[in-house]
Structure 1
Amino acid sequence: MGSLQLKSIRKTYGIHEVLKGIDLEVKDGEFVIFVGPSGCGKSTLLRSIAGLEDVTSGAVLINGKDETLTPPAKRGIAMVFQSYALYPHLTVKDNMGLGLKQAGTQKDEIDKRVSKASSMLSLEPYLARRPAELSGGQRQRVAIGRAIVREPALFLFDEPLSNLDAALRVQTRLEIARLHRSLKATMIYVTHDQVEAMTLADKIVVLNAGAIEQVGSPMELYNRPANVFVAGFIGSPMMNFIPGDKVADAGAKTVGVRPEHLALSREQGTWRAKVVHVEHLGADTIIYLESEQCGLITARLFGEHKYEPDDIVYATPDTGHMHRFDADDQAIR
């Protein structure tokens, strides 16, 4: 449906540079997620693609055509916002079809597209209702349906699940994934939630302070982070970082070990530590340890384990899954 190229996108507000020369290619049909901490520029980048922000320099190409100066309504994109932005006095059907009506689309065509979208999103029973009569998840589906009926080149999502409770987030995440497979559409999605990023994306773009740190598939970023920032941002609980001089033959300033790659023993091991806190999650047990050598480290054990605060244990890293980083915090391959 649509491809996207960003060429040296910069955005400044006065002396403050928000986007620092972003280069990115999104292929037709890809699901790409921008992820990063608050203030990293991910929403500004999405709004720049939509045309809701004027870029200071650079080019936005959609389907190979330079759309940098094209008004938002003519870019062939549809955007789903964090706030549902539904008209309270209109029915679900009229909310979904309003953009087409304003564009002069024939009524029969509007009805056809609304019917198709409502079927995909299981909204048929609610077409005559108004937003106040819907749950948060249903309202978000209406907002997504309003985007679908436009049949855009690009779907843009700006933290669409952040207003939903945990159960609804999971349900709506599954619906968005199913929708992507069904439409085979190009989707660009902004979130601060790495679980959303890891479970939905074909490709993740990790942003930090207005620049791209790494682009890759979820498991590429998880297994081969380019630097300390990506290694610490992707994965929950986050990766343990240990000074290289505390690890034999490390040859690195910093060594990273994910919590699931630490084995615990009560008898012997590499680092002696005291249990600080234990989280019993059923499927997993998360154990926080204080080590004289390494400071605070985290272990993730599969299943239920009977450790208690103040227990003395020994943590041993899996040397086959260590990540090494140099003095500039870049990965040593």
Structure 2
Amino acid sequence: MSSVELRKVDKHYAGYHALKTVDLTIEKGEFVVMVGPSGCGKSTLLKTIAGLETINSGHIVINGRDVTREEPGDRGIAMVFQSYALYPHMTVAENMGFGLRMANRPRTEIDAAVKRAARILRLEEQLDKRPKQLSGGQRQRVAIGRAVVREPKLFLFDEPLSNLDAALRVNTRLEIAQLHRRLKATMIYVTHDQVEAMTLADKIVVLNAGRIEQIGSPMELYNAPANEFVAGFIGSPKMNFIDGAKLGETAKTVGVRPEHLTVDAKSGAWKGTVVHAEHLGADTNLYLDCEKAGLLTVRIFGVYNAEPGATLYATPDPAKTYRFGADGRVLK
């Protein structure tokens, strides 16, 4: 296992400042997920750790050793990409053992490593198949297995589930979580999907425009976002934001999560009209156009029948309402 330190890392691309004085410490054995919108710098940051991108200033330290100028192959890492990048003419076993063969490792060592990884990833019955005979989820597991056989100090994942359908994403996400528990390895995982971040991470790093906005556990970010950006990015459905002036507030913006609003047909804080209702089985999302608060999303656990055009009153939980200043920071 390895620890990772990023010390004042800066990265420029021809006039574009991709990473801006990034400081980050990742402990041994942690599962850290980097999230943020497209173009925020999360994949660039991962590639700098891998050595696939050079940085303009700062230092990258892995397990106490400064690797800033080292080649990718010397950093003791393995990377799993969005693309499976499997060789179609090779079997699963050959694909998984390819890196070890290129390193001229003994055949017995390669076979043992492949079998061990296949057992961990439930690929034992697939070892003699070609990639075209596998499902998307199985192909991604083979790509992960190719990393596992190398016994790296550090695993890097760059949006590995984005090519999978919804059901396979859930299954493969579970398998990655189980893999982390089995190997007790340090893992850094990049995704734009905050649900993946919330369900996988020990620690989440939220990036925006090349800067780290906040670092914390999933529930720390959910319950105590540092600013309006983090509050809006973490949580699904996303937080409602209301112009503070419309509510007579001194805060620039008031935020309340959909699950922290209740509705009543007779009375409440904000009178509104039902625009649409999404019935999801386990819960219901209501969209209310409120006179004071504007368009709100309300999440109700269970089934709630409301017709478009009906009048309902929404009331926020005052203990779970957030106030943001003009700079977007949470007001204490």
State TM-score, norm by structure 1.
0.98
Query: How many Å separate the matches in 1 of 2:292 and 2:250?
Result: 17
Query: How many Å separate the matches in 2 of 1:15 and 1:292?
Result: 45
Query: How many Å separate the matches in 2 of 1:59 and 1:270?
Result: 52
Would the aligned equivalents of 2:261 and 2:315 in 1 still touch at CA under 8 Å? yes
Query: How many Å separate the matches in 2 of 1:9 and 1:133?
Result: 43
> What is residue 291 of structure 2 aligned with on the other side?
292
Is it true that 1:138 corresponds to 2:138 in the alignment?
yes
> What is residue 243 of structure 2 aligned with on the other side?
243
Query: How many Å separate the matches in 2 of 1:169 and 1:159?
Result: 11
Q: Within 5 Å, which residues of 2 pair with 1:143-158?
A: 143-158=143-158
Is it true that 1:21 corresponds to 2:17 in the alignment?
no
> What is residue 101 of structure 2 aligned with on the other side?
101
Query: How many Å separate the matches in 2 of 1:251 and 1:173?
Result: 43
Secondary structure (helix, strand or coil) at the match of 2:277 reads: strand
> What is residue 263 of structure 1 aligned with on the other side?
262
Q: Deviations over 1:158-182 (max 9, x none)?
A: 0000011111100000000000000
> What is residue 188 of structure 1 aligned with on the other side?
188
> What is residue 121 of structure 1 aligned with on the other side?
121
Query: How many Å separate the matches in 2 of 1:318 and 1:295?
Result: 17
Secondary structure (helix, strand or coil) at the match of 1:171 reads: helix
Cα RMSD after superposing both structures: 0.9
State TM-score, norm by structure 2.
0.98
> What is residue 321 of structure 2 aligned with on the other side?
322
> What is residue 213 of structure 1 aligned with on the other side?
213
Listed as ranges, the gaps of 5+ residues in structure 1 are none
**How far is 1:196 from its partner?**
0.4
> What is residue 231 of structure 1 aligned with on the other side?
231
Secondary structure (helix, strand or coil) at the match of 1:274 reads: strand
Q: Within 5 Å, which residues of 2 pair with 1:1-150?
A: 1-150=1-150
Query: How many Å separate the matches in 2 of 1:82 and 1:165?
Result: 13
Query: How many Å separate the matches in 1 of 2:231 and 2:303?
Result: 27
**How far is 1:202 from its partner?**
0.2
Q: Within 5 Å, which residues of 2 pair with 1:160-199?
A: 160-199=160-199
> What is residue 274 of structure 2 aligned with on the other side?
275
> What is residue 305 of structure 1 aligned with on the other side?
304
Would the aligned equivalents of 2:247 and 2:292 in 1 still touch at CA under 8 Å? no
1:328 is matched by which residue type in structure 2? D
Secondary structure (helix, strand or coil) at the match of 1:90 reads: coil
1:237 is matched by which residue type in structure 2? P
**How far is 1:246 from its partner?**
3.7
Would the aligned equivalents of 2:247 and 2:293 in 1 still touch at CA under 8 Å? no
Query: How many Å separate the matches in 2 of 1:295 and 1:55?
Result: 45
Bigger mean CA deviation after superposition, 300-309 or 250-259: 250-259
**How far is 1:292 from its partner?**
2.1
Secondary structure (helix, strand or coil) at the match of 1:34 reads: strand
2:101 is matched by which residue type in structure 1? K
Query: How many Å separate the matches in 2 of 1:247 and 1:2?
Result: 50
Query: How many Å separate the matches in 2 of 1:307 and 1:19?
Result: 47
**How far is 1:251 from its partner?**
4.2
Query: How many Å separate the matches in 1 of 2:143 and 2:22?
Result: 29
Secondary structure (helix, strand or coil) at the match of 1:24 reads: strand
Would the aligned equivalents of 2:99 and 2:150 in 1 still touch at CA under 8 Å? yes
**How far is 1:308 from its partner?**
1.0
**How far is 1:255 from its partner?**
1.2
Q: Deviations over 1:39-60 (max 9, x none)?
A: 1111011011000011111111
Query: How many Å separate the matches in 2 of 1:308 and 1:209?
Result: 41
Bigger mean CA deviation after superposition, 197-206 or 14-23: 14-23
1:289 is matched by which residue type in structure 2? L
Size of the aligned set, in residue pairs, is 332
Secondary structure (helix, strand or coil) at the match of 1:231 reads: helix
User: Quick one: percent identity of the two aligned structures?
Assistant: 65
Query: How many Å separate the matches in 2 of 1:246 and 1:269?
Result: 16
2:178 is matched by which residue type in structure 1? R
Query: How many Å separate the matches in 2 of 1:191 and 1:232?
Result: 16
